[in-house]
Amino acid sequence: MFTPLVFASILPEILILVLGILILIFEPFWKEDQRRNAGWLTAGGLFIAMIVSLLFGRPGEAVTVLGGMIRFDWLGFFFKMLFMFAGAATALLLMDHDRAGRRGESYVLLLASLLGMNLMAVSSDLVMLYLAIETASIPLYVLSGFLLNDERSTEGGFKYLLFGTVASTIMLYGFSLLFGFSGTTNLSEIAAMFTTGNISPFVGFGVIILLAVGLGFKVSLVPFHFWAPDVYQGAPAPIAGYLSTASKAAGLAVVMRLFFAALPDFASTWTLVFAALAAITMTVGNLLALPQTNIKRLLAYSSVSHAGYALIGVVAFNQLGATSVVFYLAAYIVTNLLAFGLVMAFSRITGLEEITDYAGLSRRNPFMALMMLAAFLSLAGMPPFGGFVAKVFVFAAGVQANYIWLVIVGILNSIIGVYYYLNVLKYVYLYRMPNEDEEQHPVPLTRPYTIALVVLTIGVILVGTVFAPWFSWASDGAFLLFN
């Protein structure tokens, strides 16, 4: 039963588990001021785990293993690499966080949620899927409420927990209906049952709505997004970045698996539902981002709107659509981690997080200002940064699927986006500090920040220029969804 194939299919997860255990073992022996080293261990360990998985854990033909629980294919593998990359970057960014960074358990929780996300990306069974989602979510509930002395953090964590469990329950109800109608929990078998069975579209619509509510919450689609800004603002900033990228990408991975694999026969219904959700999500997210003065809240609402753009690819429901979603998520993960990382690095030194506080940054730390430029222009969808290519692919998929109206909504929204992203850069580059002596107020970066931010910046540029390899991986992964 435990063949080399099975081993290879869960190799990254095994390594993550080992890493978590290592930290748990070593942590008690470390002195207080050494504990942040768990961050080096986590980031380095994840990096090694990625390399090992790339060498020994690459999938070949798509197969299901472990009694049909896990599907071992390129799509899942690509997502796993993305999540682990995001996890490593988050660990580095967490190290210099005043409170959360000096405690081993934050890294263990991070790894636990990473484990869950990895499994979310490969689940091919409802039971496995639900377990994976909860494994990913519960550590995140804890992490977002980690700062016990901070009211906003505890409030955010509590809110997240409360809404998260309600959404999970609704989704679970959807799962149980799926099981009830098809008599199986295996995704591909469900699809087969629906093809042959005579389920009324009305029931299908109900199930789709239940699933959309649960997953919409994870991905923070409007109108299930209201937790996001409070949680992002309250949570330790690296965790907020992680939530808005990896966790969201994991949600979208599940959306694709579930709807593309299990419910292709209801495509005409769910594409419409998602088209509506995408349009609302983009528009509401952007309009709410527009008046924000706090940069974390701005990023929170902008990340809501980005889920909407990515959803255009899901709505397209074709090969390019799926590829574009995966590509979009890859670009978005590096970009948004970079943006959150910068915000965090800035507020750690200055203690400030209003947009106006960024006045004069281009003189206080020119390199940081350039990285802000890369991050925000990528979010706005400008070349040569990842966001541009990602957006063009998503729009191209939308046009191909004849959802021109949705693409137009997307474009109108990008224009709003350009406005508020440029607005941030205006403070960074144009305005000066009130007393105009920026040289007296430098914003130094510590080593972990520098490593993480530089790697992410290079990533943002690489995704936007040398996009062929990422695209073919994404495409290989997406191909399987239709076979």
Partner 1 sequence: MMNFPILSIITFIPIAAGVLILMMPAGRKNETRAVALAAATLDLLLSGWVYLQYLTQDMTGYQFIEQYNWLPQLGISLHFGVDGMSAPLVLLTGIVMFTGVLISWGDDNPHVMAGIQDRPREFFAFLFLLAGGVFGVFVSLDLFMLFFFYEIAVFPMYLLIAIWGWVKTREYAAMKLTLYLFIGSVVALVGALAMYWVQYQNTGVLSFDMLVMENAGFSQAFQNAWFLPVFFGFAVLGGIWPFHNWSPDGHVAAPTAVSMFHAGVLMKLGAFAALRVGVMLLPEGAKTWAPLIMGFAAIAVVYGAYIAFVQTDLKYMIGFSSVSHMGLVMLGISTLNATGLTGAGVQMFSHGVMTALFFAVTGMIYDRSHTRMIPELGGMMKVMPFAAVGFIIGGLVSMGMPGFSGFVAEFPIFMGVWQEQWLVAVIASISIVITAAYIMMNIRKVFFSPMPEHLEGHVGDVTVLDKVAIVTLCLFMVALGMFPSIMVPMVETGVGYIMNLLGGA
The DSSP code for 199 is -
CB 90 within 8 A of CB 5: no
Minimum CB–partner distance for residue 306 and partner 1 (Å): 17
Among 6, 24, 131, 396, binds partner 1 (CB under 8 A): 396
Tell me, by CB under 8 A, how many residues bind partner 1.
34
CB atoms within 10 A of CB 227: 20
Spatial neighbors of 440 by CB under 8 A, at least 6 apart, are none
* 351 or 469: CB nearest partner 1: 469
Minimum CB–partner distance for residue 380 and partner 1 (Å): 8
Among 6, 290, 370, 454, binds partner 1 (CB under 8 A): 370
- The region of 291-299, 301-309, 334-342, 379-387 touching partner 1 under the rule CB under 8 A is 379-387
Minimum CB–partner distance for residue 234 and partner 1 (Å): 32
Residue 186 pairs in a beta bridge with: 125
Which residue is associated with the tokens 């991070």?
110
Among 83, 107, 130, 388, binds partner 1 (CB under 8 A): 388
Token representation of residue 9: 């299919």
* Residue 93 parent element (H or E): helix 74-95
* 242 or 420: CB nearest partner 1: 420
Among 22, 41, 172, 399, binds partner 1 (CB under 8 A): 399
* 122 or 382: CB nearest partner 1: 382
Binding mask 297-336 for partner 1 (x = CB under 8 A): -----------------------x----------------
φ/ψ of 432, rounded to 5, equals: -120, 165
- Asked if 392 interacts with partner 1 (CB under 8 A), we say yes
CB 361 within 8 A of CB 427: yes
- Asked if 395 interacts with partner 1 (CB under 8 A), we say yes
CB 378 within 8 A of CB 275: no
* CB neighbour class for 270 (10 Å; exposed up to 12, middle 13-18, buried from 19): buried
3-state secondary structure of 53: helix
Q: What amino acid occupies position 308?
A: G
Q: Cα–Cα–Cα angle for 56, 57, 63, nearest 5°?
A: 135
Closest CA to 379 of 337, 346, 409, 407: 337
Query: Rule CB under 8 A: which of 347-366 touch partner 1?
Result: 362, 366
* 183 or 366: CB nearest partner 1: 366
3-state secondary structure of 71: strand
Query: Rule CB under 8 A: which of 446-475 touch partner 1?
Result: 467-468, 471-472, 475
Query: Rule CB under 8 A: which of 403-432 touch partner 1?
Result: 404, 407-408, 411, 414-415, 418-419, 422, 425-426, 429-430
Residues at the interface with partner 1 (CB under 8 A)? 320, 362, 366, 370, 373, 377, 382-384, 388, 392-393, 395-396, 399-400, 404, 407-408, 411, 414-415, 418-419, 422, 425-426, 429-430, 467-468, 471-472, 475
